[in-house]
Amino acid sequence: MQFEGTRRSGQAPNLTPLIDIVFLLLVFFMLTAHFINDEGLPIELPEAVSATALDEKEPLEVVIERSGALRIDGKVISYEMLAGQLADVLAGRSDKRVVIRGDSGVTLGDSVRVIDAARQAGATGVDIVTEKPKG
């Protein structure tokens, strides 16, 4: 008695379902991804090697332009009104942290005035936004 052995076929496994699933996953992630175009003022951030990313809610941001002009939520304000404006905005927030985003050409005096005004307004922390050096 002779048993019939298993026949080896020269067929490759069908990869069509696998390709379909990978394609569907690709389409799903492309459609659900959020592409954010960060529009803002043209400022050059200073670089810092020890920079770390912020991972909390959006803090209150003060922008110092190269010319020395201040902006809070896109509105230009004067240095004299800064502490009062910051106090008003921080009063209604649970996160009382202030972030300073300034051009690399801003003087140290302007930065210190903003930090001092933030402390007077009751800010619990003041951070300065920087960029990591490229390379």
Q: How far is CA 73 from CA 21, 28, 77, 105, 107, in A?
A: 44, 34, 10, 21, 22
Q: Provide the residue type at 53 as one letter.
A: A
Whole-model pTM?
A: 0.56
The Cα 100–Cα 4 span in angstroms is: 80
Q: What is the predicted pLDDT for the residue at 54?
A: 54
13-68, pLDDT tens digit by residue? Answer: 888 999 999 999 999 988 888 766 655 656 676 777 666 665 556 778 888 888 88
Q: Across all residues in the chain, what is the average pLDDT? A: 79
Give all domains of the chain, ordered by start, each with its CATH number. 60-128 (3.30.420.270)
